[in-house]
């Protein structure tokens, strides 16, 4: 590792630790402590044991030992939450550096060549700003003129530059990123204080972290359990009075602390914060903790073919003229339909025709027909009245007013191209179909294995593509998706999501364009691309800073890991309470009821050593589990039944056995000390 990088890492780690310990003490204040009811009870118990010791209700050494152990338990629980928050603040600090002292060149209009220099904080919605090579983009916005390569390392951590261009689905830019080449005019989409970076900072600092439904439900359960055990413990002195047993208040507090679920109570906030941090580490901004958790429950994934399953850079690889049409005639027609086509496919058609020896010249007084996702056709109307079009098979047949049944050769050519997993584009001049262009795309490496992992988790994958059914079927089979929708229009995504939700499924999808916004908003998890339009980013509940559509697969795994971690640690916490009962209960009643000694299965040295051993274990288990809470339980694809079985075996059985061993070992160490 680079020594300077190691030094910076160590320095950051030291800062995190220092800030975390500072917040540990702040969280002892009543207004902070009450936010975690379980640990608030432990904190109150600490004060009660101290007062009882001072009033002479117990041996001073024993009383102070219990007080100190309880106080350390509270500190450890506070530390678990504080260290998670400190990591978030560290990430926020690095994000703030990306926007310090930014200035902007504000334009009065797109034709303004001078502009005025102002502070970035003075920018308003819809202001126009010009950014040149070497300058930082002062605010979030969309490019409305020009294109540029941009370094987004300040936000994404990725040093490789990206291309952003006006009029495409990759027109969005973020304040604080740097323009490397060319110059662009950007329309501001967020005022100071409401920018993408501002929201990221608020989220990672935890100030906007909303508890998830599962976290709220578990919190209520823990509170109910705590209240129930308080009632039980408060009733023991009355029961002891009838049995002529005087119960020490310090022992009652110790019993209560061991009865209530302190382990998961201390770790629960850290688990929630860590889930958000893991998402951010994967360069995914979740707008709420709920979004991360819901991702773990998703059972249907809706994926675009282009850019998600395939690399998305489809290239023209061959021309197939029909009988009676020369190759040159087909290529010339294809060139004319693609001259004004800004898509990679259109540009590749012109490039391939050039390679094959065709001359390219733009006709005069021609009207270009831009490609539309709804019509799936593009072309040109020449000044002499000829109309030339290229597009999907059904769109061209409709344009030419013809039926496929009357074109056996066309059908064969289309099927031939589609069977290879390529996309056939049909070219027509007026009412005559000239031939087929083959567009080839490549399945992303490892995508089939990822879909297999999702299938193991019980998640259905649905590929959405505008390709014809034959091409869609070939690619779906090669990629290993469970289902596909061919010849899909933008509104078909929304219909598909609603249909799956009506069946009771939770649906996730990826999108980057304005036409994806309704579907992103409708989906239970909408992952918007950072490079996409502002409408898409506003509609989704997650934003991928890397603009990698396959990131949705990682998001699902992060969500599942969040649920598994909380479930595993809850199981462990409740299971290890069992052993603490066997340590505390005999110590409480054995003096008056000798038969209770039969419960002392661990053969602990004395009542005092049993109580202290249980409390010491209760305290040290929290910091020992902090790394698991922050890192998450290791995720492996499995069904719900398999996960439950594994959790019960490892964290359930292990949670019962480990404390028996640990408490006995602690007792062996402290019993001689108490005997002095």
Place of tokens 């002292």: 101
d(CA 474, CA 298): 26
Q: What is the phi-psi region of residue 632: left when phi exceeds 0, alpha when psi lies from -120 to 50, beta otherwise?
A: left
pLDDT digits (tens, 9 = 90+) for 391-402: 888 889 989 888
Nearest residue to 151 (alpha-carbon basis) of 133, 125, 169: 133
Nearest residue to 435 (alpha-carbon basis) of 325, 576, 561: 325
Provide the CA 144 distance to its chain's centre, in angstroms: 30
Torsion over CA: 305, 306, 311, 313 (sign): positive
In DSSP notation, 544-567 reads ETT--TTHHHHHHHHHHHHHHHHH
pLDDT at 485 over 50: yes
- Per-residue confidence at 535, pLDDT binned at 50, 70, 90? confident
pLDDT at 645: 83
299 appears as a binding residue in the annotation = no
Lowest mean pLDDT among 81-85, 325-329, 345-349, 576-580: 81-85
pLDDT at 547 over 90: no
Lowest mean pLDDT among 20-29, 394-403, 540-549, 635-644: 635-644
d(CA 83, CA 98): 24
pLDDT at 490 over 80: no
366 appears as a binding residue in the annotation = no
pLDDT digits (tens, 9 = 90+) for 164-212: 888 777 788 888 788 988 889 999 988 777 766 666 566 555 544 456 6
- Per-residue confidence at 5, pLDDT binned at 50, 70, 90? very low
pLDDT at 388: 92
Question: Which member of 304, 441, 467, 546 is catalytic?
Answer: 304
Please, where in the chain does CATH 3.40.1110.10 lie? 309-440
pLDDT at 213 over 50: yes
Cβ partners under 8 Å of residue 11, min gap 6? none
Nearest residue to 189 (alpha-carbon basis) of 122, 245, 140: 140
pLDDT at 87: 62
d(CA 460, CA 483): 8
Please, where in the chain does CATH 3.40.50.1000 lie? 283-300+444-467+480-544
Q: What percent of the chain has pLDDT above 90?
A: 14
Lowest mean pLDDT among 74-78, 514-518, 647-651: 514-518
Vertex 149: Cα angle to 148 and 153 (nearest 5):
135
371 appears as a binding residue in the annotation = yes
DSSP strand pairing (507-511 vs 525-529)? parallel
Please, where in the chain does CATH 2.70.150.10 lie? 123-190
pLDDT at 502: 92
Cβ partners under 8 Å of residue 143, min gap 6? 164, 165, 166, 171, 172, 173, 184, 185, 186
The highest-level CATH class for domain 283-300+444-467+480-544 is: alpha beta
pLDDT at 157: 56
- pTM of the entire predicted model: 0.64
pLDDT at 30 over 80: yes
Place of tokens 């036409």: 515
pLDDT at 14: 52
d(CA 35, CA 28): 11
401 appears as a binding residue in the annotation = no
pLDDT at 6: 37
pLDDT at 7 over 60: no
pLDDT at 489: 77
pLDDT at 321 over 90: yes
Give strand pairing partners of 511: 528
pLDDT digits (tens, 9 = 90+) for 265-289: 888 877 877 777 787 778 787 776 6
341 appears as a binding residue in the annotation = yes
- Per-residue confidence at 429, pLDDT binned at 50, 70, 90? very high
373 appears as a binding residue in the annotation = yes
pLDDT at 158: 58
pLDDT at 532 over 80: no
Cβ neighbours of 503 (radius 10 Å): 10
Vertex 537: Cα angle to 534 and 540 (nearest 5):
150
pLDDT digits (tens, 9 = 90+) for 70-96: 999 999 888 887 876 776 565 555 555
Pick from 367-376, 550-559, 614-623 the range whose average pLDDT is largest. Answer: 614-623
CATH 3.90.79.10 fits 309-440, yes or no: no
- Per-residue confidence at 617, pLDDT binned at 50, 70, 90? very high
211 appears as a binding residue in the annotation = no
Q: Are 530 and 545 in contact (CB under 8 A)?
A: yes
d(CA 475, CA 421): 5
DSSP strand pairing (483-485 vs 460-464)? parallel
Region 365-379: what's the mean pLDDT?
81
pLDDT at 588: 67
pLDDT at 2: 40
pLDDT at 640 over 90: no
pLDDT at 427 over 90: yes
Nearest residue to 518 (alpha-carbon basis) of 543, 500, 497: 497
262 appears as a binding residue in the annotation = no
304 is catalytic: yes
Between 94 and 383, the higher pLDDT residue: 383
Q: What percent of the chain has pLDDT above 70?
A: 86
22 appears as a binding residue in the annotation = no
pLDDT at 4: 36
d(CA 50, CA 56): 10
- Helix, strand, coil shares of the chain, percent, nearest 5, are 55, 15, 30
pLDDT at 675: 72
Lowest mean pLDDT among 2-6, 53-57, 511-515, 550-554: 2-6
- Per-residue confidence at 585, pLDDT binned at 50, 70, 90? confident
Q: Are 293 and 562 in contact (CB under 8 A)?
A: yes
In 3-state terms, what secondary structure has residue 181?
coil
Cβ partners under 8 Å of residue 552, min gap 6? 301, 303, 308, 508, 509, 510, 525, 527
The highest-level CATH class for domain 123-190 is: mainly beta
């Amino acid at each position: 590792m680079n020594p300077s990088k190691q030094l910076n890492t160590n320095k950051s780690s030291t800062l995190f630790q220092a800030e975390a310990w500072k917040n540990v003490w702040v969280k002892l204040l009543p207004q902070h402590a009450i936010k975690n009811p379980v640990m608030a009870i432990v904190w109150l118990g600490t004060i009660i044991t101290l007062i009882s010791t001072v009033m002479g209700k117990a041996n001073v050494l024993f009383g102070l030992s219990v007080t100190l152990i309880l106080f350390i338990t509270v500190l450890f629980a506070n530390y678990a939450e504080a260290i998670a928050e400190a990591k978030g603040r560290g990430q926020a600090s690095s994000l703030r550096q990306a926007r310090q002292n930014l200035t902007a060149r504000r334009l009065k209009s797109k034709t303004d060549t001078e502009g005025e220099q102002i502070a970035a904080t003075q920018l308003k919605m819809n202001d126009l700003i010009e950014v040149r090579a070497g300058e930082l983009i002062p605010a979030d916005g969309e490019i409305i003129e020009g294109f540029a390569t941009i370094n987004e390392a300040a936000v994404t951590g990725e040093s490789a530059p990206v291309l952003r261009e006006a009029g495409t689905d990759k027109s969005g830019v973020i304040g604080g990123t740097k323009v490397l080449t060319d110059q662009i005019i950007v329309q501001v989409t967020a005022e100071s204080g409401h920018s993408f970076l501002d929201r990221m900072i608020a989220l990672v600092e935890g100030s906007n972290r909303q508890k998830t439904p599962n976290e709220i439900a578990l919190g209520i359960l823990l509170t109910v359990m705590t209240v129930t055990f308080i009632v039980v413990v408060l009733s023991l002195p009355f029961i002891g009075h009838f049995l002529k047993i005087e119960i020490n208040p310090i022992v009652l507090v110790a019993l209560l602390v061991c009865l209530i679920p302190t382990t998961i109570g201390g770790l629960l906030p850290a688990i929630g914060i860590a889930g958000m941090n893991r998402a951010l580490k994967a360069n995914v901004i979740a707008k709420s903790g709920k979004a991360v958790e819901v991702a773990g429950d998703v059972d249907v994934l809706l994926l675009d073919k282009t850019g998600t399953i395939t690399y998305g850079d489809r290239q023209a690889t061959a021309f197939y003229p029909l009988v009676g049409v020369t190759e040159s005639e087909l290529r010339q027609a294809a060139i004319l339909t693609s001259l004004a086509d800004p898509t990679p496919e259109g540009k590749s058609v012109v490039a391939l025709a050039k390679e094959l020896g065709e001359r390219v010249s733009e006709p005069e007084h021609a009207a270009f027909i831009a490609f539309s996702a709804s019509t799936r056709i593009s072309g040109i109307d020449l000044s002499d009245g000829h109309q030339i079009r290229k597009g999907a098979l059904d769109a061209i047949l409709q344009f030419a007013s013809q039926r496929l049944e009357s074109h056996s050769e066309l059908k064969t050519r289309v099927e031939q191209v589609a069977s290879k997993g390529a996309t056939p584009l049909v070219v027509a001049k007026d009412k005559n179909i000239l031939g087929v262009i083959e567009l080839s795309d490549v399945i992303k490496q490892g995508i089939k294995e990822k879909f297999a992992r999702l299938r193991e988790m019980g998640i259905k994958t649905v590929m959405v593509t505008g390709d014809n059914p034959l091409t869609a079927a070939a690619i779906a089979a090669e990629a290993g998706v469970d289902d596909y929708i061919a010849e899909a229009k933008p509104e078909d995504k929304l219909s598909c999501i609603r249909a799956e939700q009506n069946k009771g499924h939770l649906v996730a999808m990826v999108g980057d364009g304005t036409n994806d916004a309704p579907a992103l908003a409708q989906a239970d998890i909408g992952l918007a691309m950072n490079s996409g339009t502002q409408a898409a980013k506003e509609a989704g509940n997650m934003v991928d800073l890397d603009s990698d559509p396959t990131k949705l697969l990682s998001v699902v795994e992060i969500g599942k890991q969040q649920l598994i971690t909380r479930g595993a640690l809850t199981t462990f916490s409740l299971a290890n309470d069992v052993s603490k009962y066997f340590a505390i209960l005999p110590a409480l009643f054995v003096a008056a009821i000798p038969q209770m000694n039969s419960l002392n299965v661990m053969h602990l040295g004395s009542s005092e050593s049993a109580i202290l051993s249980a409390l010491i274990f209760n305290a040290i288990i929290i910091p020992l589990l902090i790394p698991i809470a922050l890192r998450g339980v290791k995720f492996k694809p499995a069904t719900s039944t398999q996960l439950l079985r594994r959790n019960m075996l490892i964290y359930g059985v292990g949670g019962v056995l480990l404390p028996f061993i640990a408490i006995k070992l602690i007792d062996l160490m402290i019993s001689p000390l108490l005997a002095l």
